[in-house]
Structure 1
Amino acid sequence: MLGGRLSSGGHRADSLHQIATRTKGDALFRGIEIIILTPSPRKGQAKAETHKSVLKLIHILPKVDDTTRFIRIPRRTNYQYGNAPQILPHQAAMMKTKTPSFPQQSIDVLLSPRRERIEQAQSDLEIDGVISSSQLRRYYGLEPVDLAGRLLTVALIRPVASRPALEVQQTLVVSGAEIARLNDTDLNHKLTLTETRLMLGIEADPEVWQVNPKPSLKLNQPDGVWISEGQRVAIEADTGQYHMRIVDQKLDSFAQQGYASTIWGTGSEGRAKNIEKKLGSRYKVSFVRPSWWAA
Structure 2
Amino acid sequence: MTRESRLSEGELDTLNTLYHDDGAWTPDEARARLARLGLALELGVLTRVQTLIGPLYLLSPDGRDAVFGTRHDAQSLTRQQDRAYLRLCLEHYGWTFASAADPVATDLKGLAGQRLLHPVHTPEGLALVGAQMTSGGFRPLAIKNLGDRLRSSANHRNFRVILFTPKPELGQDMAQHYAAFMTLIPLVPTGVTTIRHRVPTRVQIVPKDATPGTVEAGPYATRPVLVSIMAAGNLPACTADILALPRAERIARFRADLRMDKVIAETQLQRHYGLTHDDLPGVAFVEAVLRPRKNSSTLEVQTRLYLATTGLANKNDSALMHLVGVGEMRRMLGVTDPAQWVVSTAARHRVEDPDAVWQRGWQTVAIEYDSGHYGETLVLRKLDSFKSRGMHETIWGVPSSQRAKRLMRETAGRLTSPPLVTRWWQDSVLPPW
Pick from 162, 185, 189 the counterpart of residue 295 of structure 2. Answer: 162
1:112-123 to structure 2, matched below 5 A, reads: 112-123=245-256
Q: Does 1:3 align with 2:56?
A: no
Partner of 2:268: 135
CA contact (8 A) 1:213 1:224 kept: no
Aligned partners of 2:68 and 2:132: how far apart in 1?
A: 21
Tell me if the contact between 2:395 and 2:415 (Cα under 8 Å) persists in the aligned partners: no
Question: What is the match of residue 81 of structure 2?
Answer: none
CA RMSD of aligned residues (A): 3.4
Q: Is residue 390 of structure 2 the alignment partner of residue 258 of structure 1?
A: yes
Displacement after TM superposition at 1:219 (Å): 5.9
Distance in structure 2 (CA, Å) of the matches to 1:213 and 1:184: 13
Q: 5+ unaligned residues in a row in structure 1: which ranges?
A: 17-36, 42-52
**Equivalent-residue separation in structure 2 for 1:234 and 1:160 (angstroms):** 22
* Structure 2 residue aligned with 1:287: 419
Counterpart-to-counterpart distance in 1, 2:377 and 2:248: 47
Distance (Å, rounded) in 1 between the aligned partners of 2:341 and 2:265: 20
The correspondence of residues 203-222 of structure 1 with structure 2, limited to 5 A, is 203=336, 205-212=337-344, 220-222=352-354
Change (3 A) 1:112 1:106: same
Residue 81, structure 1, aligned to residue 215, structure 2: yes
For the 8 Å contact 1:10–1:39, the answer to whether it is kept is no
Of 225, 231, 238 in structure 2, the residue corresponding to residue 97 of structure 1 is 231
Q: Alpha-carbon deviation of 1:283?
A: 4.0
Larger radius of gyration: 2
For 1:170 and 1:77, how far apart are their aligned partners in 2?
Answer: 19
Q: Tell me how far apart the structure 1 counterparts of residues 210 and 404 of structure 2 sit (CA, whole Å).
A: 46
* Paired residue secondary structure (2:424): coil
Offset from partner CA, 1:205-243 (integer Å, 9 cap, x none): 3321111299xxx76111111222321221101122212
Distance 1:138 1:293 in 2: 9
- 1:69 Cα offset (Å): 2.2
Classify 1:90/1:283 alpha carbon distance in 2 versus 1 (closer, same or farther; 3 Å): closer
Q: Tell me if structure 2 keeps the 8 A contact 1:7–1:39.
A: no
The answer to whether the Cα contact below 8 Å between 1:10 and 1:38 also exists between their aligned partners in 2 is no
Match of 2:281 among 130, 148, 160: 148
Matched, 1:278 2:410: yes
Q: Is the 8 A contact 2:211 2:279 kept in 1?
A: no
1:276 maps to a residue whose letter is: M
Question: In 2, Cα distance between the equivalents of 1:117 and 1:226?
Answer: 24
The code of the aligned residue for 2:376 comes to M
Q: In structure 2, what is the Cα distance between the partners aligned to 1:40 and 1:169? A: 12
Q: Which residue is equivalent to 1:237?
A: 369
Secondary structure (helix, strand or coil) at the match of 2:17 reads: strand
Count residues in correspondence: 255
1:197 pairs, out of 330, 333, 338, with: 330
Change (3 A) 1:124 1:93: same
The SS at the match of 1:207 is: helix
Question: Aligned partners of 1:268, 1:261: CA distance in 2, in Å?
Answer: 21
TM-score, normalised with respect to structure 1: 0.75
Q: CA deviation at 1:10?
A: 8.7
* 2:318 matched residue in structure 1: 185
Instruction: Assess, with a 3 A threshold, how the Cα gap between structure 1 residues 96 and 40 changes in structure 2: closer, same or farther.
Output: closer
Contact 1:85 1:113 in 2 (8 A): yes
Asked if 1 retains the 8 angstrom alpha-carbon contact of 2:324 and 2:424, the reply is: yes
Question: What is residue 22 of structure 1 aligned with on the other side?
Answer: none
CA offsets 1:33-73 (integer angstroms, 9 cap, x no match)? xxxx94389xxxxxxxxxxx9xxxx9999956783522111
Q: Residues 164, 59 of structure 1: CA spacing in aligned structure 2 closer, same or farther, 3 A cutoff?
A: farther
Deviates more, 1:253-262 or 1:68-77: 68-77
Work out whether residues 9 and 38 of structure 1, in 8 Å CA contact, stay in contact via their aligned partners in 2.
no
CA displacement at 1:194 relative to structure 2: 1.2
Q: Which residue identity does 2:269 align to in structure 1?
A: L
Q: If the length of structure 2 is used for normalisation, what is the TM-score?
A: 0.53
Q: In structure 2, do the counterparts of structure 1 residues 238 and 219 end up closer, same or farther at CA, with 3 Å as the change threshold?
A: closer
What amino acid sits opposite 1:272 in the alignment?
A
Question: Secondary structure of 2:365's partner?
Answer: strand
- Tell me how far apart the structure 1 counterparts of residues 115 and 60 of structure 2 sit (CA, whole Å): 13
SS of match in other structure, 2:221: coil
Answer yes or no: is the 8 Å Cα contact 1:262–1:286 preserved in 2.
no
| Structure 2 unmatched ranges of 5 or more | 1-13, 20-58, 79-100, 102-113, 117-130, 135-165, 167-193, 195-199, 428-433
Q: Distance in 2 between the 1:77 and 1:292 partners?
A: 26
Partner AA of 2:283 in structure 1: R
